Amino acid sequence: MKKLVILSGKGGTGKTTFAGAFIKMGDIKAYADCDVDAPNLHLILPPAGEADEKEFFGLGKAAADPGKCTDCGLCETVCRFGAIKGGCVDIFACEGCGVCMEFCPQGAIEMRAHVSGLTAVYREAGSVFSTARLYMGSGNSGKLVTEVKRQLFENIKETTLAVIDGSPGIGCPVIASVTGADMVLMVAEPSVSGMSDLKRIVRTAQILRTRIGVCVNKWDMNGRKTGEIEKYCRDEGIEFLGRVPFDPSVVKLLNEGRTMADLAESPAGKAIKDVFVKTVRKIYEQ
C-alpha cells in the first residue's frame, strides 16, 4: 500500500479540498484526517454509518491529595507552566511533565490518566476513514495523529493507495503525518507567507527523506508568486505537479458538502484531476 500525505505548510491553502477531491477521483478505500486540532475532511466526505469511537489518553495530569499536602509550596515553585496555585492543579495549564510529583516531599502529587481526545473509525463498503478530535486545551496532538494512522492501517484490507490529510505548519502533528509516507504533496498558496511556509515544510519533508511534489492552488491570484514557486521547485529539484486556477464555484460546492471531483468540466476541476494523475504516477515510479 502506497501512502500519500497532503500538506500545506500553512492553513487555508486548500489541502483538505485537494484531499477530498483525490479520494473521490481515485475511489480511495483508505483515508484519514490527521488535522486533529481542527478536522474537517468529514464535512466534504460525510461518513456513513456509526463510528467506532475510542477515548485517547495523552500524557497524565498532576493531581494533588489534600490529605497529604502540607502547603509547603514547593510544587508551585518548581512548576514552569504556572499550573499549580495554592496546592490546586489547573489541568489546562499542566503539561504532564511530572516534575511536581518528583519534588513533592510528602508524595502528595500523582500523575493521573487524562482523556485528551477522541478517535473515530468509519467502515463502509470496504473503505475505512480514520479521524480524531483533540479536546480543547489538550496537548500531544502528534501522538494522536500516530493513533489515527495506526487505526486506519489496522482496519483496512490491502489496498493500492491511502490518502492522508495532514495538519498545517511543521510541528509534531505534521511530522507524525509524514512518517512512513511514500510521498508528500504540498499545496502551496501564491503569496509571501505561502512561499515562506512552503520552504519550511519542504525542508521538514527533506529531513524525513520523503519524496515531495508541489502544486499551486488559486495560482492566478498572483501569477508572479506562482512563477517564483515554480522556479524554487526547479532549483531544489522538486517535482512541480501543476497549478489550479481560482474558481468561485468551488466555495459553493464545498458549502454543499461536495468535492472538486464534481467539477470535472470546469477549469479548476480539470486542473486538479491533472494534478491527481501526475501525483499518482510519481508515487508508483521506481
SS (H, E, C) the chain: CEEEEEECCCCCCCHHHHHHHHHHHCCCCEEEECCCCCCCHHHHCCCCCCCEEEEEECCCEEEECCCCCCCCCHHHHHCCCCCEECCEECCCCCCCCCHHHHHCCCCCEEEECCEEEEEEEEEECCEEEEEEEECCCCCCHHHHHHHHHHHHHHHCCCCCEEEEECCCCCCHHHHHHHCCCCEEEEEECCCHHHHHHHHHHHHHHHHCCCEEEEEEECHHHCHHHHHHHHHHHHHHCCEEEEEECCCHHHHHHHHCCCCHHHCCCCHHHHHHHHHHHHHHHHHCCC
Residue written as grid cell 508551585: 76
Could you tell me which CATH class the domain 2-56+118-283 is placed in? alpha beta
Whole-model pTM? Answer: 0.89
Cα gap 73→76, rounded to integer Å? 5
- SS3 of 165-183: the string is ECCCCCCHHHHHHHCCCCE
- Calpha distance 259→269 (Å, rounded): 10
**13 phi, psi to nearest 5 deg:** -85, -20
pLDDT at 286: 55
- The answer to whether 239 and 282 are in contact (CB under 8 A) is yes
* pLDDT confidence of residue 158: 81
Residues in the chain: 286
Map 12-43 to HEC letters: CCCHHHHHHHHHHHCCCCEEEECCCCCCCHHH
Return the amino acid letter for 256: E
pLDDT tens, per residue, the chain with 286 residues: 999 999 988 888 899 999 999 999 999 999 999 999 999 999 999 998 889 999 999 888 999 999 999 999 999 999 999 999 988 899 889 989 999 999 999 999 999 998 999 999 999 888 999 999 999 878 778 999 999 999 999 999 888 999 999 988 899 999 999 999 999 999 999 999 999 999 999 999 999 999 999 999 999 999 999 999 999 999 999 999 999 999 988 888 888 888 888 887 789 999 999 999 999 999 988 5
* Amino acid 126: pLDDT: 87
CA distances from 245 to 2, 13, 164, 207 (A): 28, 13, 23, 31
Bridge partner list, 133: 118
Topology of the domain comprising 59-113: Alpha-Beta Plaits (3.30.70)
- The reply to whether 2-56+118-283 and 59-113 are identical in fold is no
Q: How far apart are CA 185 and CA 199, in angstroms?
A: 13
The residues spanned by each domain of the chain are 2-56+118-283, 59-113
pLDDT at 139 (0 to 100): 77
Q: Phi first, then psi: what are they for 97, rounded to 5°?
A: -75, -25
| Predicted pLDDT at 229 | 96
Predicted local distance difference test score (pLDDT) of residue 11: 83
> What confidence score (pLDDT) does residue 252 get?
86
| β-pair partners for 2 | 161
What the block records as the C-alpha cell of 21 is: 477531491
